[in-house]
Structure 1
Amino acid sequence: MSKEAPQLESEKQDLEYSHVDNPMKDSESNKHDVVVLEDDDFGFTQAEQRSIIRRIDRRLVITVGAMYCISLMDRTNMSAANIAGMGVELNLINNRYNIANLVFFTTYVVFQPPSTILIRKIGPRLHLAFITLLWGGVMIGMGFVKNFEQLAALRTVLGVLEAGFFPSCVYLLSTWYTRYEVGKRYSVFYLVGCVASAFSGILAYGLMQLNGREGISGWRWIFIIEGTLTCALGIAGYWLLVDFPDSTRLTWSFLGQKEREWIVHRIQRDRGDTQVPPFNLKKFLGSGRDWKVWAYAMMFFNTTTLTYALAYTLPLILTKELHFSVGESQCLVAPPYAFAGIVMFAAAYAGDKLRVRGPIIIFNMVLCLIGLPIMGWAPHAGARYFGIFLVTAGANSNVPSIMAFQANNVRGQWKRAFCSATLVGFGGLGGIAGSLVFRTQDAATGYKPGMYTCITTAFLNIILVGLTGLDFRRLNRKADEQGIALEAHDEDASPDFRYTY
């Protein structure tokens, strides 16, 4: 073997584990006219490789982020419609409003596992675009309901259709990026959803001004206009969405064959799970024997309990507890979510840069544990509103953080699909819990039972991160000492894989 061989191997390793977005390497590559290419580069310079990744970011992350923006807006606009007159017109007395929110998640949870199988069979473009178009039609129909029963029925159908969206997007994104790129991409994906949450109240307030137009109430216009936007984006999504990197199905005006092969190769180097074995139900469900899968799911349950509790109740808290007007409450929802977006991206950037996940989750939960007592017990409205900032930032930042935590620590295409379904399924259960956290009958106490529930979920997440981290450390040490392959579910599993904690 030549003396240059170790040096070449070292250079290949540096390229393999370097972050594709590293601006320093970009500037350095432009200083040299001669670029040494290795076999693993597929003939692409480092600048060309970064260009390919940026094209994927623009086409994939932005498209699914925009569609998720609409999805999140459509499932959480009930609170805006409720204070805009829906509760009075449909006679949503007692717990009817909570029930109308809850029934969405019953079907949302049940229909998620089949979706991650279906998206592999028919492809993301057809699957995601079609269900988005259908649920947009359901949203329009919600603008014409006459009673609580019709509202609850359409919310149930909405749950069936939206069930396939989020887990499919999480799964799709994880197949295009390496482990230490995916955190930032998940963050941008969810960040667009936060923008929706931030400005949905302002949009709803604007649509309320159509009250009486064509004889239709203002709250009905919220559903009708937002449903129409959803249908339009669903149609556009058919052309804009991309397929899996290993798929042979055509994607309109995207990467060439050689570029896709390079993407598949770098994923294989990173975690060794690009091969898609034939679907096996026993193997698919067998992923559930790993206790860590349920730990990730439980973390997501705790987090979504917090996020949905805020989404469904924040306008009500602002009006009934902090005594802002309806218009002020609709607009004051925006700043906490805008702040959450900043914290979210900063946390994701730090997680990818430092290659850690657990400490980021703990930091976010500490924000919630500081903010919840302020939000619930501070004597002044301004202080309580500041508490809302901290809770909103911590809870929402943890959504992409936990998604990245899970994505970094599972391997194998069907286990990845199963984990996406269970993670988001438990997120749906969190939606059920979140819709019941701040109950109408607790308003007289300042929603104190709901505050205690939220504090408990934050503590549980810290405990779960600690338990999984200890197990990761034990298994990594065992792999180092005994040379065993971790997460070796498929034949192409690499012995170099290690857990991230």
Structure 2
Amino acid sequence: MTSTPEKISDVLDEHSSAERGTGAVDSYSSNRDAERRLRTKIDWAIVPIVSFLYLFCFIDRANIGNARLAGLEQDLGMTGYDYNTLLSIFYISYILFEIPSTIACKWIGPGRFIPFLTLAFGVVSVGTAFVHTLSEACGVRFVLGIFEAGMMPCISYYLSRWYRRGELAFRLSLFIVMAPLAGAFGGLLASGILSLDHFGTLRSWRMIFAIEGIITIGLAIIAFFTLTDRPETARWLNEEEKALAVSRVQSERVAQSKVLDKMGKQKLWLGFWNPMILATAFTFLLNNITVQGLAFFTPTIVGTIYPTFSTVQKQLYTVPPFVVGAFFELLLPLMAWRLDKRQIFIVASTPMVMAGYIMFLATNNPTARYAATFLTASSCFAVGTLTNAQAAAMVSSDTSRSMSLAINMMGGNIGGLIATWTYLPWDKPDFKIGNGINLGASGLILLVSTAALLWMHRDNKKRDGRDAEEQLRGLSEAEIESLEWKHPNWRWYP
């Protein structure tokens, strides 16, 4: 039987001969068909698993907003800014453990590390059902942040092992769409749970944390047995499919001899010190002020719009805006995949969000304000997908990619920390400060993302005029591999 490295070489030869136009058109067409079948196989094998894991990751984080409506504050004796403090505690550990968690994922392997994280935060969610004081709740939320910190960057990094640059954005959307769906499904699930009289000895909001945490634990156990670490270890791929899966990803990595390289300080550093990674992370920071604000405060905002509604009615009214958000979460990355463009869609995501917050600031009419929740929840969720896809596309090596995704998520989670203080008790029912901050954040996204798009085109033109052979003369193979985005053949892909 031909070995996997030999098969990889054969597949690469097929690609290169087709690109050279040496009479291999039929072979190339056949290979494209094989790649399409492989991509579909990968889609069904790994995307549903990570999507369900992330769904309950987000539910276990955001269900505190549903618990608030169900009496959390009263039972724990919370007043003033206590709720905002409880939210902030989560983000402190979430930010601190972002980079360590993602590096550990590369070191241990996502096939084992992602299920471990899921199991851990599922257990912590169950533990939240048994807190009786604010201090206990803060302690549990801090621990929850430790284990949830790695989920989004680790899953993004994991998918980058399987998909090409252009394909990645849409596949990321298929799991990140679970964030707005968690808002919708979480509201429905919370309504159903609260209709129960009790769950064991637990009642009201405590049932939400316990039942949702138990579901998470069950999903984690399933993932331990079903999540494949990388193409080479996939039992559901034959040898030729494994070779093609590796070769098609490696073909886009400038000057890299391996898809899964050895971790090194230089590559980790350049995964951080990269102008587009820093710009993308700042964009995600601004975006997450809105996304996390919606996750934590939409039940509160709906409650102020319809103060006479029952708790269950308020929970149900939080669902439709998140469904709209889920639609755009899939639509924009799908278009990005088809056009192999991401930055322009980040730019395009801002107008509807800005319009929604302008409506919040301009009127007190309940119908208009509820309509504004649909606009604010529309395209903002897609930015998380698009910035993570950009963070993956703006580096070459696997090591740099693990760092770039961690940095992007760290930026996003700093935005989440800011979000916990955007809607303050004394600012209700209109929340002019919170809505004004979000309007400003979406306006800044428009400016920063547009500037980044123009800069990439300008820098690419500069690189076109340089002599790559001259710049690489005298460097060893290892030194060339470590150049990352500084390699003269590197181009930005907006």
Q: Does structure 2 conserve the Cα–Cα contact (< 8 Å) formed by 1:306 and 1:395?
A: yes
Which residue of structure 1 lines up, in the alignment, with residue 4 of structure 2? Answer: none
CA distance in 1, matches of 2:413, 2:269: 19
Q: 1:217 to 1:427 in 2, by over 3 A?
A: same
1:295 and 1:14 map into 2 onto residues whose CA distance is: 36
In structure 2, the CA distance between the partners of 1:419 and 1:68, relative to structure 1 (3 Å rule), is same
Matched, 1:457 2:441: yes
Once structures 1 and 2 are overlaid, which stretch shifts more, 160-169 or 114-123?
114-123
CA contact (8 A) 1:437 1:450 kept: yes
Determine if the alignment matches structure 1 residue 416 to structure 2 residue 408.
no
Structure 2: unaligned runs, 5 residues or longer: 1-13, 473-478
- 2:146 is the counterpart of 1:164: no
State which of 12, 19, 22 in structure 1 corresponds to 2:18: 12
Q: How far does residue 277 in structure 1 lie from its aligned partner after superposition? A: 3.5
Q: Is the 1:365–1:458 Cα contact (8 Å) retained in structure 2? A: yes
Listed as ranges, the matches of 1:278-357 within 5 Å are 278-323=262-307, 324-357=309-342
Check the 8 A contact 2:99/2:403 in 1, yes or no. Answer: yes
Provide the TM-score with structure 2 as the length reference.
0.88
> Does the Cα contact within 8 Å between 2:94 and 2:145 map onto a contact in 1?
yes
3-state secondary structure, aligned to 1:36 = helix
Task: Give the drift of 1:65.
Answer: 0.9
TM (normalized to structure 1)? 0.87
Aligned residues: 467
Q: How does 1:103-118 map to 2 (within 5 A)?
A: 103-118=89-104
- Note the C-alpha offset of 1:335: 0.9
Q: Residue type matched to 2:27 in 1?
A: L
- Match of residue 377 from structure 1: 362
1:479 corresponds to:
463
| Number of the residue aligned with 2:241 | 259
Corresponding residue number in structure 2 for 1:137: 123
Is the CA contact (8 Å cut-off) linking 1:66 and 1:193 kept in structure 2?
no
1:81 aligned to 2:81? no
The answer to whether the 8 Å contact 2:281/2:407 transfers is yes
Alignment of 1:115-134 (within 5 A): 115-134=101-120
Q: Is the 8 A contact 1:170 1:420 kept in 2?
A: yes
1:444-468 Cα shifts (integer Å, max 9, x gaps): 5x11011111011111111211221
CA shift for structure 1 position 488: 6.6
| Structure 1 unaligned residues grouped into runs of 5+ | 1-7, 16-33
- In structure 1, what residue type is equivalent to 2:243? E
Identity of aligned residues (%): 26
Counterpart-to-counterpart distance in 1, 2:144 and 2:329:
28
Whether the 8 Å CA contact 1:319–1:325 is kept in 2: the answer is no
Q: Report if aligned partners of 2:187, 2:319 keep a CA contact under 8 Å in 1.
A: yes
Q: How far is 1:102 from its partner?
A: 0.9
Instruction: State how far apart, in whole Å, the 2-side matches of 1:14 and 1:356 are.
Output: 25
Letter matched to residue 332 of structure 1: Y
Moved more, 352-361 or 197-206: 352-361
Shift of 1:497: 4.3
Hey, what does 1:24 align to over in structure 2? Answer: none
Match 2:453 to one of 466, 469, 474: 469
Question: Distance in 2 between the 1:495 and 1:283 partners?
Answer: 16
Q: Distance in 2 between matches of 1:244 and 1:428?
A: 27
Cα distance, 1:113 vs. partner? 0.9
Q: CA RMSD in A?
A: 2.5
Q: Which moved more, 1:194-203 or 1:373-382?
A: 373-382
Aligned partners of 1:406, 1:126: CA distance in 2, in Å? 23
Could you tell me how far apart the structure 2 residues matched to 1:291 and 1:46 are? 34
CA contact (8 A) 1:35 1:45 kept: no
Q: CA deviation at 1:352?
A: 1.8
The equivalent residue for 1:197 is 183
Q: Report Cα offsets for 1:109-138 as digits up to 9, x if no partner.
A: 111111222122221121111121121111
Superposition misfits of 4+ residues, deviation over 6 angstroms: 8-11, 485-488, 491-495
Counterpart residue type for residue 466 of structure 1: T
